[in-house]
Chains A and B, each alone.
Chain A
Amino acid sequence: MTDNTQPIVIAVTGLNAIDSPGPGVAVIRAIRDGLNRPVRIIGLAYENLEPGIYMDGICDKTYQISYPAAGSEVLYNAIKYIHDIEKIDVLIPNFDAELYNFITIAARLKALGIHSFLPSFDMFDARDKLNLYAFGQKHNLLVPKDKVIYNSNELAQVGDDFGYPLVVKGKYYDAIVAHTLEQAQKAFYKISAKWGLPIIVQQFINGTEVNIAALGDGEGNATSIIPMRKMYITDKGKAWAGITLEDDALIELAQKFVEATQWRGGFEIEIMKTAKDELYIMEINPRFPAWIYLSAGAGQNQPAALVKMALGEKVLPFTTYDVGKLFIRYSWDLIVDISKFQQFTAFGSL
C-alpha cells in the first residue's frame, strides 16, 4: 500500500524547454497539478543550460547524466548513484534517443525499487521509423511509403519513385521537405551529420497536421487519448499553439494502435489528415509529446495517470475531455544567478 503522506520521488528527463522542447517540464507540471499527493521531482539533465534545471517549482533537485551514447551500463550506474541519495520511486524518460537504454535497464531498476512504465523492445521497434511502413501494412493503417537509405547516391532513385516533394528524416529527429534532388541531398547531409545514418526518405502527404497524445495500459487498452490540431507551427515543425479536437476517427486510430502493439506508456501519433479525410500516420513517438500539459488542461492528465500505473495502481480509462481547449506556448527569460550555473556545471547537481 502506498503511504500518501510521504512524497513520491519521481525522476524525469527532457528538461530542455527550448524552441524544440523536450516534454520533461510539461510532464512535471502535469504531475504536480494532478497527482494529488506530495511529490519530489528529480530532474535528469544532459546539458547545463536546460531551462527546467533552473525554473522555480519544477525540479526539487537535478542531476546531470551522460548522453545515451555512453551506453546502458553508464546510465544504470548513474541512476543507481542518484537513487542511493534520493530513493526514486518512479522514473519517466522523455526522449526517443534515451529510451533504448532505459528499456534495457528497466528490470534492474525495478529490482532497486524504481518503477517505470515503458514499452517493451517489441513494441518500441514496431513503431520505429524504420519499420513503420511495414507496421501500417500489417495492421491496415495508412502510412506514407518510405525508403531507408545509407548513401546520398540513393536519393535520385527514390526521387524518381516517390516524386517531389519528398521528406528527408533523421532516425530520431528532424524532417526536411525537399522539392528537388539538390535540396534532398543537402537535407541528407545536414540530418546525417547531426543524427547519423540511416536516413529515411518518405513520400510527401499534403494535409492538416493533427497529433494524438495517448497512454496505453500494456494490455491493449488506451487509458487516455487526446487529439490536437497544430494551430501555429514553428520553423522546426513544432506546435507553438494547438487545440483539442473531437474526432472519433482519430480516437479509433489510436485505439487500434494500442490494441495492435499492447502499448505500455505514453506515446504520440503524428498524423496528416488529407482533404479526403484520410489519416496518414507520419510518425509514432514512443513517449509523451512536449504539449502533454494540454492533456491535463483538457481533463485527462496523462502523466499523473502514468505515475499511478507505474506504481501498480489501477487507472480506469478516461471517457471525456474538453474539446476546443487551446495551449499557446510562450518564451520567458529566466534570470539565473551565476552561482547556480556554476554549481550545476562543476558538481553535476543542483
Chain B
Amino acid sequence: MNRAAQSTQTQKFKPMIKKNIATNEFGFVFNPATGDSFSSNPIAAEIIGLMKVNNSLNEIKKTLLEKYDADKMTIEKDVDDFLQILKENNLLNN
C-alpha cells in the first residue's frame, strides 16, 4: 500500500468505542466488564460523543478544528493521544 492510500485509509478510520461502555455528557466513562471508571475533560467527552455517532477520525478532527481556536497539528496530536489512552484502557473495539 502506498503512503497516499494509507493516509486516506487512516483519515477514513472510524474509532469505535466498545458497545457496552457507558458514558455520560459529563465525561464519566465506565467499563462494565472490568469495573474501571474514568473521568474525562469536556473535550475528551466531546470526542467520545463524536465517536458514538459514527464519525471518522478525520471528521472528529475537522469538527474540533472548526470549533476551537487551536492549530491543526495540536488538535490532531491531542485526538491521537486520546485515542491511544482509550486503546490502552481497553475501551476501543478497533
Chain A interface residues toward B at CB < 8 A: 208, 229, 231, 242-247, 323-324
Given contacts A245-B33, A246-B33, A324-B22, 12 further A-B pairs with CB under 8 A are A208-B34, A229-B35, A231-B35, A242-B35, A244-B35, A245-B32, A245-B35, A246-B20, A246-B32, A247-B33, A323-B32, A324-B35
- Interface status of B82 (Cβ within 8 A of chain A): no
> What size tier do the contact residues of chain B reach?
under 10
* Closest chain B CB from A145 CB (angstroms): 26
* Closest chain B CB from A218 CB (angstroms): 30
> How far is B20's CA from A245's CA once the two chains are assembled, in angstroms?
11
Which of the listed residues B22, B30, B32 has the most CB atoms from chain A within 10 Å of its own CB? B32
Could you say which residues of chain A place their CB within 8 Å of the CB of B35? 229, 231, 242-245, 324
Q: Which of A208, A247, A324 contacts B30 (CB 8 A)?
A: A324
Chain B interface residues toward A at CB < 8 A: 20, 22, 30, 32-35
> How far is B22's CA from A323's CA once the two chains are assembled, in angstroms?
11
Could you say which residues of chain B place their CB within 8 Å of the CB of A243? 35
Nearest B residue to A229, CB-CB: B35
> How far is B34's CA from A208's CA once the two chains are assembled, in angstroms?
9
> How far is B20's CA from A324's CA once the two chains are assembled, in angstroms?
11
> How far is B33's CA from A52's CA once the two chains are assembled, in angstroms?
34
* Closest chain B CB from A28 CB (angstroms): 27
> How far is B34's CA from A244's CA once the two chains are assembled, in angstroms?
9
- A sample of 11 cross-chain residue pairs with beta-carbon separation below 8 angstroms, ordered by A number, consists of A229-B34, A229-B35, A231-B35, A242-B35, A244-B35, A245-B32, A245-B34, A246-B32, A323-B32, A324-B32, A324-B35
* Closest chain A CB from B24 CB (angstroms): 12
Could you say which residues of chain A place their CB within 8 Å of the CB of B22? 324
> How far is B35's CA from A231's CA once the two chains are assembled, in angstroms?
8
> How far is B35's CA from A229's CA once the two chains are assembled, in angstroms?
6
Could you say which residues of chain A place their CB within 8 Å of the CB of B32? 245-246, 323-324
Could you say which residues of chain A place their CB within 8 Å of the CB of B33? 245-247
